[in-house]
Structure 1
Amino acid sequence: MFHDLGSALAGLGSPALAIVLFTVAVRLLLHPLYRAAVRGEKAKAELAPEIRKLNKRYGKDLQKLSQETQKVYKKAGVSMFAGILPMLATIPFFMVMYRLVTTPNPLLDGTLFGFSLGTHFTSGYAWVFLVLFALLAVVAFVTVRWQKAQVGPDAPQVPFARFLRVLPYGTVLVAAWLPLAAGLYLLTTTSWTIAERALLYRILS
């Protein structure tokens, strides 16, 4: 399957460009799910002040807290899992993309600036990886800043908050262990993610 798909994409011309375009095509296909996820997240965010009040009032009574929280969501017509289920539906698509850019196939036989898309950073020095890491770090920085702006200074601290803030930078470490093709895919999809979410948060009411 992945060999045939890789052959078809490689036949379009530049394999590197094919990875970018195919990633964009998949993200466009998944766009309705992301719209649903953002709508759910925004709906839950509007209820956040009321949920915080419940936490202060019933924090020691978890059963009562759960019951009252469910009442708030039900009254507002919002699912407690809003924003989560649409994202779970995207997992199979990303599994396909991951296998495509990591499983040997004709697509990985292509090159980017003279370097094979199947090359690993750990297999030898290649300046193109340093550029890739820098771009991934920039995208991660923008993502963290945007997430921080959405949360706001008055939001309560959540468990593992520091870990969540550095999590986007994990793409750099992942790219260091995967083929160049996978790094190119990560750069494309993470850039698309932050741009898409920022736009949806702005235009969706």
Structure 2
Amino acid sequence: MNIYEFLPIRLLVEAAYEVVTTLTSFLDPLAGAHSAALAVIVLTVLVRTLLIPVGVSQVRAGITRKRLAPKIAELQTKHKQQPEVMQQKLMELYKEENTSPFAGCLPVLAQMPVLMAVYGLFINSTIGGHANELLGHTLFGLRLDTSFVRLLGAGDLTATATTVYLVLVVLIAVVAGFSRHLLTPAAPETPAAPAPARNGSDAPAMPDLSGVMKTLSFMPFLTAVFALFVPLAAAVYLATTTTWTLAERLVLNRVLGANDPQPDESTRVTD
């Protein structure tokens, strides 16, 4: 099943299409042939602005993880010879703090339909039963429905096309590097779940998120590679959204005090 035939997603795509075409017409006197590409950038900024609460949730979740990190490390040290007990104590800690290892993940999942709808503008040749006019526009003479890989395969790669894609890919890669260096949290490692205890204990196992966090930290670099395969309009979108995400997180980290040193807590975790 084509996800873009699913009614809620289809309606979101059609709404986004109306916005971007209206923006294109509005920007045409200012940007001329580049109005559609500029409209994509403006639409992306508008969408990301609406999703700022998701960023706030992620930053607050990161602050909570940072605050709990010493307690988690203490529990891991204290009960390293008793994995089942350690996992139980970690679960109790998260419960006491009214949080979880997955705090901030649900809002991220909630935003996916919106981002999926925006991306649908760049890969669907028809929207609402008529041709997707957005993809017929150009940026520096390159149609917004073309891609670097397609041009390369057809032997139509020009110096202009190479320069445009090089700028986009380098921008995404540079932003990814800064994001990984400045924003990737140091997640405390949680030992892997042990084999079932002989005493029949069924204490819930804590998920090991260290490998997941390390993998996610490299995802922005994959975005740079992905930009070579998608339509040019989508590559512009990816460059805009990754740049916005970095700027947003830096601002939110400062406003919410994510980089402030955590106060020393005299209360130690108990058995």
Counterpart residue number, 1:188: 240
Counterparts of 1:191 and 1:172 in 2: how far apart (Å)? Answer: 12
Q: CA RMSD in A?
A: 2.4
Match of 1:141 in 2: 177
Given the alignment, which residue of 14, 20, 30 partners 1:9?
A: 20
CA distance in 1, matches of 2:212, 2:105: 19
Say whether residues 1:111 and 2:138 are aligned partners.
yes
Q: How many residue pairs are counted as aligned between the two chains?
A: 202
- TM-score relative to the length of structure 1: 0.86
1:43 aligned to 2:56? no
- 1:58–1:64 Cα contact (<8 Å) kept: yes
Q: Which residue of 1 aligns with 2:186?
A: 151
CA distance in 1, matches of 2:215, 2:175: 17
The AA in structure 2 aligned to 1:65 is: M
In the other structure, the counterpart of 1:22 is 43
Tell me if the contact between 1:36 and 1:86 (Cα under 8 Å) persists in the aligned partners: yes
Task: State the Cα deviation string for residues 126-154 of structure 1 (Å, max 9, x = none).
Answer: 22112211111111111122135x539xx
Unmatched runs of 5 consecutive residues or more in structure 1: none
Query: Following TM superposition, by how much is the alpha carbon of 1:6 offset from its aligned partner in structure 2, in angstroms?
Result: 2.9
Could you tell me how far 1:56 is from its partner in structure 2?
2.3
Structure-1 residue corresponding to 2:228: 176
Corresponding position of 1:198: 250
Find the structure with the greater CA-based Rg: 2
Unaligned 5+ residue runs, structure 2? 1-9, 25-34, 126-131, 152-156, 191-209, 258-271
Structure 2 counterpart of 1:129: 165
Residue of 62, 68, 71 corresponding to 2:89: 68
Q: State whether residues 7 and 106 of structure 1, in contact with CA within 8 Å, keep that contact through their aligned partners in structure 2.
A: no
TM-score, with normalisation over the residues of structure 2?
Answer: 0.67
More helix by share: 1
Task: Please say if residues 19 and 181 of structure 1, whose CA atoms lie closer than 8 Å, have aligned partners that are also in contact.
Answer: yes
Give me the whole-angstrom Cα distance separating, in 1, the residues matched to 2:102 and 2:189: 20
Q: Distance in 1 between matches of 2:88 and 2:244?
A: 38
Q: Percent identity?
A: 37
